[in-house]
């Protein structure tokens, strides 16, 4: 199930009738065209986020900033709104309540967020760099000999998965269970069994770390004075895993697309990090990985920027539209970090520095490891994933002169080996996994997107 739908349009009389649709291929093919059309409404515009489900889209930079900073008037907890939409509403898996920091307000939020912030503060940059470099080396060894790849699936999304397994201290047997559970959910073979397997995997990780804490985010979260229960641990791990992998992967592929196709970022790509940092800034401004995800729920009917925001209607924040607000168009983007791609206010992404560093190192390693890489299709032919939440290509085919490293496993063309998952207990001796990384990546991302 995706936010995209082939369902019929809402009938006349339905509050969503005639509204601009934020789902489907049309929106995905040209979201900026949609934002441009919506700007005639001002800083907020009425839209439909799923068939028959109306919402207000916040598209003005100033209005978005004001809302994000005012967490007394605009809440993150969707519980009340959720009661008004059908249980099978396709956006519910993404927007429905879960007891984690993202959907919490006030003191509950402060406690959960504090635990996340303090745990990531214990991670030093050198360690993160080592995890990213090792993960990149692993992936490049497999991709290199082929001379072609789908960089979106095989590198941009795969790398954060490998990094996160190390960051969270996830042993390979437990990773496998998590993978298998997630895959099962989406292959819809036996959803109940798959759900149970996923929950079991995450709870096993929690139990494993309670018994054998290590130098990893899971253990640091547990040791935090907030004293998270096992259930709270599971929910925070889920939001970190689900909410981290997808945007980090899309940040990598978004910047790579610019580096490979946009003259402003051309030049000697292997010659340093300047074009990479510039491309990251540009993508965070113009095509932020989380495009239209954060939602806020007004505590009462609120007037803002000349618009009435009804209490019973979610206001979806368009980071993509706010960042490209024509009233800010004259501002220099490269080196300017005033974009809203990481959010703002009390829910500002707590992992933004690490997220950017992961993307930056991943790109550096990729461009160094596979020199002379080029897109295998014209950039305008890249297909975008439907759905309003994330900005991501379906795939990103590239070609490059094959690179053989001495350690690279011998493979048949198009028969890549099952992917080793790093084991925090033996990080240098990865274990082959029958389920494979691609399956994990697909599962994690589809699960988080609500497919
Ligand atoms: C690399 C690209 C990333 C982007 C563009 C991004 C963007 C964002 C945005 C826009 C928000 C605010 C949501 C809101 O206001 O409701 C957010 C929150 C959050 N992000 Fe990120 N993020 C990224 C990476 C990560 C990573 C790698 C992690 C975890 C490992 C992460 C964990 C979180 C969490 C837990 C929150 C909720 C914080 C709260 O509610 O207090 N993000 N992120």
Q: Which domains does the chain have, with CATH numbers?
A: 20-449 (1.10.630.10)
Q: How far is the CA of 100 from the centre of ligand 1 (A)?
A: 12
Which is the closest atom of ligand 1 to the Cα of 290?
5
* Number of other CB atoms surrounding residue 149 within 10 Å: 24
What is the distance between the terminal CA atoms of the chain, rounded to a whole angstrom? 4
Task: Give the pLDDT confidence score for residue 428 in this predicted structure.
Answer: 27
Counting Cβ atoms within 10 Å, is residue 291 exposed (0-12), middle (13-18) or buried (19+)? buried
* DSSP letter, residue 335: T
Q: How far is the CA of 413 from the centre of ligand 1 (A)?
A: 37
Task: Give the pLDDT confidence score for residue 425 in this predicted structure.
Answer: 27
- Mean pLDDT of all residues belonging to the chain: 84
Task: Give the pLDDT confidence score for residue 404 in this predicted structure.
Answer: 85
Token digits of residue 180: 């298998």
Q: How far is the CA of 319 from the centre of ligand 1 (A)?
A: 12
Q: Per-residue pLDDT averaged across 143-152, rounded?
A: 95
d(CA 72, CA 68) in angstroms, rounded, equals: 10
Token digits of residue 156: 């941009």
**Residue 153's pLDDT band (boundaries 50, 70, 90)?**
confident
- Alpha carbons within 13 angstroms on the beta-carbon side of residue 122 total 18
3-state helix, strand, coil in the chain (%, to 5): 50, 10, 40
Which is the closest atom of ligand 1 to the Cα of 288?
5
- Mutate which of 232, 245, 247, 391 to test ligand 1's pocket (most atoms within 8 Å of Cβ)? 247
d(CA 223, CA 364) in angstroms, rounded, equals: 34
Which is the closest atom of ligand 1 to the Cα of 248?
1
| Residue 93 or residue 290, greater confidence | 290
Token digits of residue 360: 């930056």
Token digits of residue 218: 């899971």
Q: How far is the CA of 268 from the centre of ligand 1 (A)?
A: 32
| Residue 145 or residue 26, greater confidence | 145
- Mutate which of 98, 237, 238, 351 to test ligand 1's pocket (most atoms within 8 Å of Cβ)? 351
Within 188-273, residue ranges assigned H as helices are: 191-211, 217-223, 230-261
Measured CA distances, 373 to 99, 154, 157, 370 (Å): 43, 15, 18, 6
Q: Per-residue pLDDT averaged across 180-190, rounded?
A: 52
Which is the closest atom of ligand 1 to the Cα of 284?
5
- Mutate which of 237, 243, 353, 448 to test ligand 1's pocket (most atoms within 8 Å of Cβ)? 243
d(CA 264, CA 176) in angstroms, rounded, equals: 42
Q: CB within 6 Å of ligand 1 — which residues? A: 68, 76, 101-102, 113, 116, 239-240, 243-244, 247-248, 251, 288-290, 294, 319, 341-343, 347, 349-351, 354-355
Q: Per-residue pLDDT averaged across 270-297, rounded?
A: 88
- Going by CA atoms, what residue is nearest to atom 31 of ligand 1? 244
Per residue in 222-251, pLDDT (tens digit) is 999 999 999 999 999 988 987 888 899 999
* pLDDT of 420 over the 90 cut: no
């Amino acid at each position: 199930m995706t936010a995209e739908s082939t369902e019929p349009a809402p009938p006349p009389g339905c509050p969503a009738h005639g509204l601009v649709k934020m789902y489907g291929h049309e929106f995905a093919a040209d979201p900026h065209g949609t934002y441009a059309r919506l700007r005639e409404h001002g800083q907020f515009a009425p839209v439909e986020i799923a068939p028959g489900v109306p919402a207000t889209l916040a598209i003005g930079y100033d209005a978005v900033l004001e809302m994000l900073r005012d967490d007394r008037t605009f809440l993150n907890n969707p519980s009340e709104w959720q009661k008004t939409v059908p249980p099978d509403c396709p956006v519910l898996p993404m927007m429905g309540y879960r007891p984690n920091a993202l959907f919490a307000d006030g003191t509950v939020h402060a406690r959960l967020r504090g635990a996340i912030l303090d745990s990531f503060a214990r991670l030093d940059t050198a360690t993160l760099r080592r995890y990213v470099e090792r993960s990149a080396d692993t992936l490049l060894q497999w991709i290199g000999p082929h001379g072609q790849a789908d960089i979106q699936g095989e590198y941009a999304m795969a790398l954060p998965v490998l990094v996160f397994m190390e960051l969270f201290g996830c042993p390979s047997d437990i990773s496998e269970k998590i993978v298998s559970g997630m895959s099962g959910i989406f292959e819809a073979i036996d959803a109940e069994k798959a759900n149970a397997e996923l929950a079991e995997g995450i709870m096993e990780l929690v139990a494993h770390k309670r018994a054998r804490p290590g130098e990893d985010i899971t253990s640091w979260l547990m040791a935090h004075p907030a004293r998270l229960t096992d259930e709270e641990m599971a929910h925070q791990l889920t939001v970190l895993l689900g909410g981290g992998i997808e945007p980090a992967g899309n940040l990598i592929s978004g910047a790579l697309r610019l580096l490979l196709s946009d003259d402003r970022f051309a030049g000697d790509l292997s010659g340093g990090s300047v074009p990479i940092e510039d491309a990251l800034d540009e993508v965070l401004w113009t095509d932020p990985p989380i495009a239209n995800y954060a939602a806020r729920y007004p505590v009462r009917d609120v007037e803002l920027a000349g618009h009435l925001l009804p209490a019973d209607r979610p206001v979806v924040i368009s980071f993509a539209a706010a960042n490209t607000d024509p009233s800010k168009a004259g501002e220099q983007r490269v080196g300017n970090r005033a974009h809203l791609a990481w959010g703002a206010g009390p829910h500002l992404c707590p992992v933004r520095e690490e997220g950017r560093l992961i993307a930056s190192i991943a790109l550096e390693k990729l461009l160094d490891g596979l020199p002379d890489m080029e897109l295998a299709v014209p950039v305008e032919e890249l297909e975008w994933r439907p759905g309003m939440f994330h900005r991501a290509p379906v795939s990103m085919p590239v070609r490059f002169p094959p690179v053989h490293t001495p350690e690279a496993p011998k493979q048949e063309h198009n028969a890549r080996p099952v992917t080793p998952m790093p084991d925090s207990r033996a990080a240098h001796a990865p274990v082959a996994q029958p389920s494979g990384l691609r399956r994990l990546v697909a599962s994690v991302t589809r699960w988080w997107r609500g497919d």
